[in-house]
């Protein structure tokens, strides 16, 4: 082949490559050589970081024990990451804005969708028995979502206790001394990112969580829970007299504590906003079990 003809062939081939790699349906930043088939449905698989000391449940053991955690129920929200999307939007109203909440099981509910850990798969499954949620694909494959999860223990809340604002979700709670409150915002783990090149890591962090990161890199939501209540340990020791055996009978342990609080379980701005703010004017004696 003559040199001039070789140039023509190379230029023509380059044009075909560039034309084939442009995806106008994806609104985010896309590498020119990135090709992801966005026509195949991609389920959301959520896991819990079980290799951490952060999972000690108050009075019920440790969440490192997968069997014990299987009996616990957590609540999950997922919202479109775009700034103009409101957390007040229910999933049944617009599932591109709110990908996950309880309204898919109970249409009027403002709560997160209830899930438990499946010891067969190691993933969170819906308590209702519903099928997994799927990331939007096709023309909507570029949508990115934030995932939030929280644990209420045995605290009962109703719709009036749940305040879904534009930028946050706050739940009115009352503790009785035996409860545990935890929350988490899913963030890609070092293990999920370690196999990626530096540029891909940056893009994966920006796009998590989405069809693109799940499909291309297998990055799915992983929750590492943070405790919001203090744990009190008491040691009772009898006086020592040589040759005598003494017994200690504890009838009750009682502490004065704040008990009414506002539990922020989802927030657009900072992960540190996920916390419980107690009302200092409401205190009572809590008898601990």
Coil, helix or strand for 83?
coil
What is the reported pLDDT for 25?
Answer: 31
Running DSSP on this structure, what letter comes out for residue 112? P
pLDDT in tens, the chain (289 residues): 433 333 333 333 333 333 333 333 333 333 323 566 678 899 999 998 744 333 434 444 334 445 556 678 999 999 999 989 999 999 999 999 999 999 999 999 999 999 998 877 889 999 999 999 999 999 999 999 999 999 999 999 999 999 999 999 999 999 998 888 999 999 998 888 888 888 888 888 889 999 999 999 999 999 988 889 888 888 888 888 888 888 888 888 999 999 999 999 999 988 889 999 999 999 999 987 7
Strand stretches in 4-102, DSSP E: 47-48, 56-57, 61-62, 74-80, 98-100
Question: Are 50 and 42 in contact, with CB atoms under 8 Å apart?
Answer: no
CA distance linking residue 286 with residue 255, whole number of Å:
5
Is residue 223 within 8 A of residue 49, CB to CB? The reply is yes
Residue 180 tokens read as 């545990």
Q: How many CB atoms lie within 10 A of CB 251?
A: 5
CA gap 247, 26 in Å, rounded: 71
pLDDT at 81: 95
pLDDT score for 31? 38
pTM of the model: 0.79
Residue 3 phi, psi (nearest 5): -60, -40
The reported pLDDT for the residue numbered 101 is: 98
Q: CA dist 268 to 145, 147, 165, 200, 222, Å? A: 11, 11, 10, 24, 18
pLDDT at position 137 is 92
Pairing outcome for strands 124-126 and 145-151: unpaired
Contact 56, 63 (CB under 8 A): yes
How many residues are present in the chain? 289
| DSSP sequence for 268-286 | SS-GGG-SEEE-TT-EEEE
Which CA distances in Å does 53 have to 162, 181, 224?
30, 16, 10
- Per-residue buried b or exposed e for 252-272, using 16+ beta carbons within 10 Å of the residue's own CB: eeeeebbbebebbbbbbeeee
* CA distance linking residue 95 with residue 215, whole number of Å: 20
């Amino acid at each position: 082949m003559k040199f001039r003809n070789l140039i023509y062939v190379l230029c023509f081939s380059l044009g075909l490559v560039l034309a084939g790699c442009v995806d106008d349906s994806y609104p985010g930043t896309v590498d020119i050589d990135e090709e992801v088939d966005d026509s195949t449905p991609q389920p959301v698989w959520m896991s819990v970081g079980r290799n951490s000391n952060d999972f000690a449940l108050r009075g019920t053991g440790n969440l490192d024990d997968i069997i014990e955690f299987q009996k616990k129920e957590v609540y999950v929200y997922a919202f479109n990451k775009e700034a103009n999307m409101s957390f007040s939007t229910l999933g049944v109203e617009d599932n591109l804005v709110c990908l996950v909440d309880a309204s898919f099981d109970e249409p009027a509910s403002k709560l997160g969708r209830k899930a438990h850990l499946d010891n067969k798969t190691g993933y969170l499954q819906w308590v209702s028995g519903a099928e997994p949620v799927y990331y939007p694909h096709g023309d909507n494959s570029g949508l990115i979502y934030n995932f939030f999860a929280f644990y209420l223990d045995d605290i009962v809340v109703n719709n009036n206790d749940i305040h879904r604002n534009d930028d946050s979700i706050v739940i009115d709670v009352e503790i009785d001394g035996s409860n545990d409150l935890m929350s988490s915002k899913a963030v890609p783990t070092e293990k999920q990112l370690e196999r990626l090149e530096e540029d891909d890591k940056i893009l994966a962090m920006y796009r998590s969580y989405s069809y693109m990161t799940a499909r291309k890199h297998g990055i799915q939501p992983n929750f590492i829970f943070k405790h919001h209540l203090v744990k009190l340990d008491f040691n009772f020791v009898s006086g020592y007299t040589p040759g005598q055996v003494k017994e200690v009978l504890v009838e009750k342990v009682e502490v004065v504590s704040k008990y009414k609080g506002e539990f922020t379980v989802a927030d657009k701005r900072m992960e540190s906003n996920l916390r419980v703010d107690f009302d200092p004017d409401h205190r009572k004696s809590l008898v601990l079990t």
